[in-house]
């Protein structure tokens, strides 16, 4: 059976009975090769899988959902496509669990920008599927969460949130609301800000790698 998403994989160098999984979700207009460039620097005992988003953007990028602009340049997200991608990612996690000896209680999502927005949606809609989330340069969009998500058990979830204080794509003010939202839900989280734009600073990388190793 073909996987629901195209992906790149780095199998663990340290083999355990069941190894943990890092699932990398790229941003709008990028592809699976982008975050996979981190793979060699990440802990050896993880399966590292980088998924390609399902919607093609010419000439060579991909997206988890469409973004459109009106005549006044107001930006709109296609929340229906985003919710469909949310559920596609959950199905993809199940496929990976079936195919590889992955510890189902040790699945971590690492999402950048649109991938981070989807990571919030997956983890909070289906917390039984995810243990940790690294949300890089994203924000919480309640419109793409499953109905009734507030009733879920979030007791084991743990978020590392980071954002660039000079982000020109997603305002840092949006990201600063994320810890309060997660606190209200009872979700463990840490928030980090770096003096960069819409990207991952070296210190940001070292800090989230430390989070993964804890």
Give the closest residue to 45 by CA, choosing from 22, 24, 19: 19
Token reading at 200: 């991952």
Digit-coded pLDDT (tens) for 183-214: 999 999 999 999 999 999 999 999 999 999 98
Q: Are the beta carbons of 138 and 179 closer than 8 angstroms?
A: no
Digit-coded pLDDT (tens) for 157-177: 999 999 999 999 999 999 999
Q: Is the pLDDT of residue 73 over 60?
A: no
**Helix 114-125 and helix 79-99: axis angle, to 10°?**
70
Q: Where in the chain are the domains?
A: 7-213
Token reading at 161: 């949130």
d(CA 150, CA 154): 9
CA distances to 100, 101, 105, 115, 195 from 18, rounded to whole Å, are 9, 5, 10, 26, 38
Q: Domain spanning 7-213: which CATH class is it, in words?
A: alpha beta
Task: Give the predicted TM-score (pTM) of the model.
Answer: 0.95
Band (67; pLDDT cuts 50, 70, 90):
confident
Task: Please report, rounded to a whole number, the percentage of residues in the chain having pLDDT higher than 70.
Answer: 96
Give the closest residue to 49 by CA, choosing from 108, 91, 104: 108
Token reading at 118: 């989807």
């Amino acid at each position: 059976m073909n996987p629901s998403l195209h992906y790149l994989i780095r199998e663990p160098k340290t083999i355990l009975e069941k190894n943990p999984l890092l699932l990398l979700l790229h941003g709008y207009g990028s592809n699976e090769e982008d975050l996979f460039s981190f793979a060699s620097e990440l802990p050896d005992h993880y399966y590292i899988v980088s998924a390609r988003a399902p919607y093609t953007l010419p000439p060579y990028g991909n997206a988890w959902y469409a973004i459109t602009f009106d005549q006044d340049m107001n930006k709109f997200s296609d929340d229906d496509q985003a919710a469909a991608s949310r559920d596609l990612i959950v199905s993809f996690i199940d496929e990976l669990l079936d195919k590889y000896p992955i510890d189902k209680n040790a699945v971590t999502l690492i999402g950048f920008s649109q991938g981070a927005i989807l990571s919030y949606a997956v983890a909070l809609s289906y917390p039984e599927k995810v243990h940790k989330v690294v949300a890089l340069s994203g924000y919480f969009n309640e419109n793409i969460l499953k109905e009734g998500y507030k009733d879920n058990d979030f007791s084991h979830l743990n978020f590392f949130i980071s954002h660039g204080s000079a982000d020109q794509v997603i305002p840092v003010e949006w990201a600063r609301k994320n810890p309060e939202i997660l606190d209200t839900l009872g979700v463990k989280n840490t928030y980090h800000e770096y003096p960069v734009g819409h990207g991952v600073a070296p210190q940001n990388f070292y800090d989230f790698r430390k989070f993964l190793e804890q």
